[in-house]
A = this chain, B = another copy of it.
Amino acid sequence: MDKILRINMGEEGCPAVVINSIGDYSGLGGRAMTSAIVSKEVPPLCHPLGANNKLIIAPGLLSGSLAAMSGRISVGCKSPLTGGIKESNAGGQPSQVLARLGYAAVVLEGKPKDDTLYKIVINKDGVKIIADNSLRMLGNYDLIDKIKKEFGDKICCISIGPAGEMKLSAASIAFTDMELRPTRHAGRGGTGAVMGAKGVKVIVLDDTGMQNRSPKDPEKFREANKNFVQALKNNPVTGKGLPALGTNALINVMNESGGLPTNNFKMGKFEGVSKISGETQVETERARGGLVTHGCHRGCVIRCSGIFNDKDGNYLTKQPEYETVWAHGANCGIDDLDAIAMLDRLDDDFGLDTIEMGAAIAVAMDAGIAEFGDAQAAIYLVKEVGKGTPLGRILGNGAAITGKVFGVERVPVVKGQSMPAYDPRAIQGMGVTYATSPMGADHTAGHARITNLLGLGIKLDYQKPESQIELSRILQIATAALDSTGMCLFINYAILSKPENFQFYVDLINGFTGREMTKEDIIDLGKSVLKNEREFNAKAGFCANNDRLPEFFKNEPLPPNNVTFKINDEELDQIFN
């Protein structure tokens, strides 16, 4: 993984491939890599869909090795949704495969001269770029079927659906899973629109003939990996809760705490929650011959995913995640799990972020475009996006644009990006992350639902402002580092719960890289990633006042607990000082 593949899609005549040695970016992976390249090479004031933006796809530092959980892949660019820097990461197979092919990053550059659509094929023999307008406006599922017919099934794919081709700001990039289905998405921030603006429909990866990446210290690596896996299995969340119920285990918990945003963030509890809970979801999946425990990539030992079949027992989509069930469910007042699964399928097929789409539809419902609770209307609306009608394009550009176009005041976004499934009035620390993350509102950037950080006994009341700034800061730094390793975020439950578990994680990195990183080095890595990102955003025109929640979170108490967001601006501004 010592090469960077650069493809200039704007070169006169045809796209030009350059393979460089990793050079200055040596030692970086995942988010550290994407954010370093964006901050060094992308002019902060460039148009996100223009020649000067770059799309960077980077496996994690440990991807392609036998380290458990190391299959996450990062996508970076200047975001068409936020106007700031973006890193969005996903599971699926491509991270491992790209890493084994030796690429630390694929960088798409330039602006195509016309609207020809390309597929890029990367294997042990090199890189081919092939014009293929027959792929135009294919959904991800049909696209992958077509690609499979051409290249067989020993491949994996990185692709966009119609949303990316239409350059919609909610467009995702799909990464195929173990079954070669386009179910794993770098959803947030409109990375799919940037890929669409580069004229690339699909990147086909084939690592036939390549080996796993070898650790520098095989014994240390093996031992650390064993301990790390055991720690994951011993932790109640990663060892039991997530495999059993998936991420949607959270919906009952969030509802109980009064922090489940319902009907476009009007309430914190949803009366239909039992119909869409994790428990109901796994029962349904089991009854229809689906799967309730399934990894999103090889090497995952948590396996929080699953397979959701339709009523006839045929595959419909992967098990919808908590944030999806919330976005298309509670947030739109919809309590129909089949409709939610269909929406998940449509989003994956069109290449759309489920969070942004659910938030946009809820805002549209607030504008009177449809009734809260109307599942068929929600399906109709997502299909409009796939068709690219004016209404669909509005929604497909996300909640902020939808609110603006329909004159809605209640729009739960920060930096133009929709808030996910955790009301910041009920979980104040999440509000700090939403407000201050360079990514815009993003739960994964510092998932402040944790009570006993590193066994230090930090016990927080989620609804109170005390210590939330500190919590969010630590988590944002830890996450920025984690997102650079290719590790799944969920290992946090285990590695942040006990100091010895954190050490297994550090040992795993050191065993692989041969470095002698300490906990402090990892913190420094996280800090440097955030520093790059915040500096880019400042140059792109963001200032302290962009680190704010919409005013209604301060002014409107959230029923039933009637809490407001209580952390003041001055405190928010101190988070990274």
Contact = CB atoms under 8 A, between A and B. Distances in A.
B407 A551 contact: no
B50 A197 contact: no
A41 interface: no
Interface in A386-401: 389-391, 393-394, 397, 401
A169 B539 contact: no
A465 interface: no
B545 A407 contact: no
Contact of A407 (B167, B405, B407): B167
A538 B542 CA distance: 11
Contacts of A538: 543, 545
A409 B541 contact: no
Contacts of A390: 389-391, 394, 405
A296 to B, nearest CB: 29
A551 B47 contact: yes
B193 A45 contact: no
Contacts of A197: 407, 409
B393 A397 contact: no
Given A390-B389, A393-B406, A405-B393, A545 B551 contact: no
A108 to B, nearest CB: 16
B45 A551 contact: yes
Quick one: which of A166, A193, A394 has the most chain B CB within 10 A?
A394
A541 B551 contact: no
B551 A43 contact: yes
Given A539-B545, A541-B546, A551 B50 contact: yes
A49 interface: yes
Copies in the complex: 2
A540 interface: yes
Contact of A404 (B50, B401, B406, B548): B401
Contacts of A52: 551
A451 to B, nearest CB: 31
Interface SS of A by simple majority: loop
Nearest to A544: B541
Interface string A298-309: 000000000000
Contacts of A166: 407
Nearest to A169: B404
A110 interface: no
A199 interface: no
Contacts of A548: 45, 541
A550 interface: yes
Contact of A405 (B394, B406, B540): B394
Contacts of A56: none
Contacts of A539: 545
Contacts of A551: 43, 45-47, 50, 52
Nearest to A384: B390
A263 B166 CA distance: 22
Nearest to A547: B541
A168 interface: yes
Interface in A183-213: 193, 196-197
A407 B164 CA distance: 10
B193 A407 contact: yes
Contacts of A161: none
Contacts of A550: 47
Given A169-B404, A541-B542, 5 more contacts: A45-B548, A168-B407, A390-B405, A542-B543, A543-B543
26 contacts: A43-B551, A45-B551, A46-B551, A47-B409, A47-B550, A47-B551, A49-B407, A49-B409, A50-B551, A52-B551, A166-B407, A169-B404, A193-B407, A197-B409, A393-B394, A393-B406, A394-B394, A394-B405, A397-B405, A401-B404, A405-B405, A538-B545, A540-B545, A541-B546, A542-B543, A543-B543
Q: Which 4 A-B pairs have the closest CB atoms?
A: A167-B407, A541-B545, A390-B391, A390-B390
